[in-house]
Structure 1
Amino acid sequence: MEFRVFGDVKVRRPSVERDGLPSEPASFQGDFDFDSVHLDGGDQSEARGGGEIARSVVSDVGMANARLDRLALSDVIVEGVDLSNAAIRELTARRVEILRCRAIGLGMAIASATDLYVENGQFDYASIVVERVKGAVVFSGCSFRETVFSGDLSRLTFVDCQFTGTEFAATGAAGCDLRASRLSGVRGLLTLRGARITSEQAVSVAGIIAAESGLSVQG
């Protein structure tokens, strides 16, 4: 059992052996169910479907403008996938790594997540709804320019992420860790009650908090 460790947060890595997996092109049209395969490449832009992927690797698949009603991932590595302007209405993730993905304009609802790690993802202008986090969820090195985050953000950890113009509309944020990321021009900070930030961050966003509280700062 292997973990990624971020301070006191441990994310369990997927239990999948890349070597020896049979390779086949991805196909997400209609109902799908993949187990122990390497879905390597393929143009699935504008696909319409839903299904499950387990103990597998998904790499270099084009999914721009795809629409998935349901996507259940268990022990899966997703890398180099283009999710620009795609929509995932119900994502369930258990021991999943999402690496180097382009997701500009993605609309995604995370129904349930346990041990989810996302690295170097470009989520600019996206809409991300988090319904339930059962275990560790870490975003590392991701960009969230003009992204809208809503739902229960409790227990999410952000490491070296950029939140330029990001809007938060959280229903809960206890334990949400923003200390290792950059906050710039964000909105909805008052919804992040219980989140952790540094004293330096507190100073940098003081004006935003004051404005959202209805205070008029003068002089």
Structure 2
Amino acid sequence: MTQQKPVKIQKPKLPKVLENISLNEEMDSEQFFQGASVSDCTIDTEPTEKKFFEKMIFKNVTFEGMNLSSAEFTDIIFENCDLSNIDVSDAVFHRVEFKNSKLLGANLSGTSLRHMSFTECLINFATLNFASLKDVIFSESSLLQTDFFDSSLKNVEYNQCNIDEANFTETELKGVDMSTCTFDNVGVSLDKLAGCTVSSEQAVGFARALGLVIKE
């Protein structure tokens, strides 16, 4: 058996010095944000136009169910942030890290994710249908009932994640390694399952997902 190569991703490229800013005060008037640090605050200002974020760190920041659809995020770190129920549909993420953050119920449908990592994050009930993921790592994160319907996964790694009841129907799983993940049941399409790596125990879960009756 050919061993699965680990996914290699590029880390965010950040300057040594970042300016501390209060994003709430500038969200209405500014469209581009770069080279800045935002920390220990709640952002609840609803933007009226597309936003661009580059070379920034967000730490201990709560985003109050904001609509940032079609926004662009490049070279960004989110640490201990709460982005639950945020709408970032059709957004672009490039070299972005999420660390110990919440994306519960987040709308990431139609997003483009490149060179990204999610570490110790809660991503339950999030929507990533029709998303394009390339060079992405999910590590020690919970993706309970997360929706990956008809998404494109290329060089995507799920490392010790909870993916119970996640939906991967109409998503090609060739080359995807889920063998270290935990789940009882997941949604998959039989014609898209070939080439997916799972443990012998997990194979039972996939069998149930395909409607097979497992006889003890």
Q: TM-score, normalised by structure 1?
A: 0.82
Q: Given residue 59 of structure 1, which amino acid in structure 2 is its aligned partner?
A: K
Q: Given residue 60 of structure 2, which amino acid in structure 1 is its aligned partner?
A: D
Measure, in 1, the Cα distance between the counterparts of 2:34 and 2:14.
10
Measure, in 2, the Cα distance between the counterparts of 1:14 and 1:110.
22
- Label 1:30 to 1:40 Cα distance change in 2 as closer, same or farther (>3 A): same
Measure, in 2, the Cα distance between the counterparts of 1:191 and 1:84.
33
Q: Is the 8 A contact 1:128 1:148 kept in 2?
A: yes
Measure, in 1, the Cα distance between the counterparts of 2:82 and 2:112.
22
How many equivalent residue pairs? Answer: 209
Counterpart for residue 14 of structure 1: 12
Superposed counterparts of 1:97-136, under 5 Å: 97-133=97-133, 135-136=134-135
- SS of alignment partner, residue 96 of structure 1: strand
Moved more, 145-154 or 81-90: 145-154
Counterpart for residue 207 of structure 1: 207
- SS of alignment partner, residue 129 of structure 2: strand
Superposed counterparts of 1:1-219, under 5 Å: 7-17=5-15, 19-27=16-24, 28-29=27-28, 32-45=31-44, 47-49=46-48, 50-133=50-133, 135-150=134-149, 151-188=151-188, 190=190, 192-211=192-211, 215=212
Q: Given residue 111 of structure 2, which amino acid in structure 1 is its aligned partner?
A: A
Measure, in 2, the Cα distance between the counterparts of 1:183 and 1:73.
31
- SS of alignment partner, residue 12 of structure 2: coil
Return the offset for 1:54. Answer: 1.0
Q: Is the 8 A contact 1:45 1:64 kept in 2?
A: yes
Return the offset for 1:169. Answer: 2.3
Q: Compute the RMSD of aligned alpha carbons.
A: 2.5
Return the offset for 1:182. Answer: 1.4
- Structure 1 consecutive aligned stretches of length 4 or more whose deviation exceeds 3 Å: 27-31, 215-219
- Label 1:191 to 1:73 Cα distance change in 2 as closer, same or farther (>3 A): farther
Return the offset for 1:140. Answer: 0.7
Measure, in 1, the Cα distance between the counterparts of 2:184 and 2:203.
12
- Label 1:169 to 1:198 Cα distance change in 2 as closer, same or farther (>3 A): closer
Q: Is the 8 A contact 2:186 2:206 kept in 1?
A: no
For residues 64-119 of structure 1, the C-alpha deviation after alignment (integer angstroms, 9 at most, x for no partner) is: 31111222111111112211122111221211111111111111125322211111
- Label 1:32 to 1:197 Cα distance change in 2 as closer, same or farther (>3 A): same
Measure, in 1, the Cα distance between the counterparts of 2:171 and 2:45.
32
For residues 177-197 of structure 1, the C-alpha deviation after alignment (integer angstroms, 9 at most, x for no partner) is: 212211222222536424522
- Label 1:47 to 1:95 Cα distance change in 2 as closer, same or farther (>3 A): same
Return the offset for 1:166. Answer: 1.7
Q: Is the 8 A contact 2:103 2:123 kept in 1?
A: yes
Q: Given residue 181 of structure 1, which amino acid in structure 2 is its aligned partner?
A: C
Measure, in 1, the Cα distance between the counterparts of 2:182 and 2:85.
25
- SS of alignment partner, residue 69 of structure 2: strand
- Label 1:130 to 1:176 Cα distance change in 2 as closer, same or farther (>3 A): farther
- Greater strand percent: which structure? 1
Identity %: 17
